[in-house]
Amino acid sequence: MSKAPAPKPALAILGDRDLELGPFDAGETDTGPWQHWRLRTDEDNIAWLLFDKKDASANTLDEATLIELNAVLDKIEQERPRGLVIRSAKPSGFIAGADIAQFRAATDPAQIEAMLTKGHAVLDRLDNLPLSTVAVIHGFCLGGGLEVALACDKRIAIDDASFGFPEVLLGLHPGLGGTVRLPRLINPVQAMTMMLTGKTERTRRARSLGIVDAVTKERHVRGAVKAAVNGDLKTHSQGFLDKLLGSAPVRPILASRMRSEASKRAPEKFYPAPYALIDLWVHHGGSRTAMQREEIKSFAQLLVTDTSRNLVRVFFLREKLKGLAKGEFKGRRVHVIGAGAMGGDIAAWCAWHGFVVTLADMKPEPLAGAVKRAAELYGKINHGDRRKLRDALDRLIPDLAGHGASSADLIIEAVPEKLDLKQKVFASVEPRMKPGAILATNTSSIPLEQLREGLRRPERLIGIHFFNPVSRMQLVEVVSHDKVANDVITVARAFLGEIDRLPAPVKSEPGFLVNRALTPYMLEAMVMLNDGVKKETIDKAAEDFGMPMGPIELADEVGLDICLHVAEMLRGSLPDLPLPPKWLIDKVEKGELGKKTGKGFYEWKDGRAVKSGEAGAPPADMADRLILPMLNVCMECLRTGVVPGDEIDDGAMIFATGFAPFRGGPMHYARTRGIADVHQTLTRLAAKYGPRFEPDPGWDNWK
């Protein structure tokens, strides 16, 4: 919500922290006719401009906020203070970027170009003000927010700030001058890398790159601003080598390597934005005017592509899932049972996010291994804060006797996928649970109706199904059953929000949604292998469709034992599933389980599958044989109410399986391809390969 003007010397708008605006002794903040900006001039004749977007929890740029900023600059030019400071009034950060919602309906590149041209004019005006301009940044400074900061003469960051250009994740590149200003401020290769990857840099790294001129504590902001305005703050400028790397003869050489690196992550036919950005820099990087002009054109063209429109859709799917985590989880103690790969990593992730976690197992060796993996994980995701790493490890408590169960607010069972074993764990732990505690299972396939047998309070049982690796897979299935209490569902979702995961509500059915949909995909690949098709060819067919990896490599990644177990569990509810080949069962019995044992379908070295050279061109119908059964199960889950809607269907499959994001999700892909075509193709495949391809009845009535 917007804040009323405050006549106090400092505005306490960040809750428990005071935002430094300067020592105002009299007068009130000038809001003028503005809804989103507040202006004040301090005793040193320095103007402080606060961005406080009305009715929003975070600042984002749109046409209205930029029009108002332009009006504020009118006043600044008239009054000519010694300096201008731009700050955010939001606790969450500086500016989160552009308001993506304003672009969703845009279809005309000319209209988009006109909007961007106006935005450029405002930031150019800020850039060219005849006085010292300073951006003071806390929290996130992303996309358009970073472009505003770059249009200022100097940037002062608070310790917790982060900087980045995430536009590439939306099928775009910066569009308000970022492609122009950043490569001219810092090392151009580093600048291009930031824009090509969407990587976010924390405060200290941003300082070393030259994005930030000073790093300070909140209490020292006024002093830092005075130094900046007085010219006492040394600013970053490019050295000889940086300028050489951005020169006309060198840019094409560097661009060739950039294209090669980009192709490993994002093939050009699926993701055009990185290559458009590289072309911009190569052809126009020597001219600020040309680069700015072409940036606008390129951004407008990218925005209307199917890739960008679908990736923007994925952004809103993420926001929808995030919204399901709203609520309150009051507890601070978690007890995890099972210190294997999943249980140990769940415990480590919870401890990293501030929970006191007791981790139980029957033997000390798995506990030691889990703590070791946690330390390795924290070393990778920590940003140089040794205290945070130490505190997280202190909160992760090995618990051989399982005493932590009695004080836990949430108990997560993560033992092997065996019904009788899980029921024994429940029988042991339920009597020790404190009132109000939740019992969660990380089962990947067993219906909760079976797991709850014997429980005295089945309404406290819920499924919280993580995916491997826990630290990278954002989606978690929240599995309900007909006896679970509504407050348990709400609190479980809120807990996942606390640990930065996306909850996907699903009902209890064998395999739930994700594993249920993935199983026919991977088993069809086994059928092809059985028929003599090369594994590399099968994987290539899926990768050519846009999957992050093929089904054979995915099976190795998940573990062949887990894949086999899930397939056996699902045969009762999906009777047309092909039988797992005998040789697959033999592989599991020999211990060739995939990545975790170093050998499965592929040999694994240094965490990567070793593949032979040429995969060969996949047959024309191979991708449909792999992908359409997945869509068919997604439709079945939608029809039977396993998922509450097609957006949850799409979001879950994208964030849990990596289903080609640029296609917008399996159900969106089906709608885009044409429901009639999907139905006809499944019917044709069923006639050729068997009843496992028979279209689900849901296709007949879905629109």
Residue 20's pLDDT is: 53
- 182: in domain: yes
**Same-domain pairing of 555 and 657:** yes
Sign of torsion, CA 573 420 486 352?
negative
Residue 10's pLDDT is: 28
Q: 389 CB contacts (<8 Å, ≥6 apart)?
A: 375, 378, 379, 382
**Same-domain pairing of 137 and 225:** yes
Using the 8-state DSSP alphabet, how is residue 696 labeled?
P
Of 273, 307, 341, the position where a domain reaches its end is 307
- 300: in domain: yes
- 328: in domain: no
Q: 191 CB contacts (<8 Å, ≥6 apart)?
A: 182, 183, 185
- Please say if 403 is a catalytic residue: no
| Phi (first) and psi of residue 27, to 5 degrees | 85, 175
From the centroid of its chain, how far is CA 316? 12
Structural domains of the chain, count: 3
Distance in angstroms (rounded) separating the CA atoms of residues 181 and 74? 23
- 322: in domain: no
Distance in angstroms (rounded) separating the CA atoms of residues 163 and 119? 20
- 4: in domain: no
- 51: in domain: yes
How many C-beta atoms surround the C-beta of residue 254 within 10 A?
A: 17
**Same-domain pairing of 495 and 520:** no
**Same-domain pairing of 83 and 221:** yes
Residue 558's pLDDT is: 86
Three-class SS string for 282-324?
Answer: HHHCCCHHHHHHHHHHHHHHHHCCHHHHHHHHHHHHHHHHHHC
Q: Domain containing 583 — which CATH number?
A: 1.10.1040.50
**Same-domain pairing of 296 and 383:** no
Residue 567's pLDDT is: 85
Residue spans of the chain under pLDDT 70 = 1-29
The residue type of 165 is: F
**Same-domain pairing of 385 and 433:** yes
Q: Domain containing 429 — which CATH number?
A: 3.40.50.720
- 509: in domain: no
Distance in angstroms (rounded) separating the CA atoms of residues 703 and 699? 8
Of the candidates 36, 138, 284, 465, the residue annotated as catalytic is: 465
Could you list the residue range(s) of the whole structural domain that residue 32 is in? 11-307
Distance in angstroms (rounded) separating the CA atoms of residues 569 and 459? 24
- 314: in domain: no
**Same-domain pairing of 586 and 638:** yes
**CA nearest 302: which of 386, 148, 179?**
179
Q: Using one digit for the tens of pLDDT, what is the confidence trace for 356-410?
A: 999 999 999 999 999 999 999 999 988 778 899 999 999 999 999 999 999 999 9
**Same-domain pairing of 661 and 556:** yes
Tokens describing residue 274: 């990185």
**Same-domain pairing of 618 and 470:** no
pTM of the model: 0.90
**Same-domain pairing of 544 and 616:** yes
Residue 236's pLDDT is: 87
**Same-domain pairing of 534 and 659:** yes
Using the 8-state DSSP alphabet, how is residue 153 labeled?
S
Residue 28's pLDDT is: 54
Three-class SS string for 605-673?
Answer: ECCEEECCCCCCCCCCCHHHHHHHHHHHHHHHHHHCCCCCCHHHHHHHHHHHHCCCHHHCCHHHHHHHH
**Same-domain pairing of 469 and 578:** no
Q: Domain containing 64 — which CATH number?
A: 3.90.226.10
User: Residue holding tokens 């630290």?
Assistant: 471
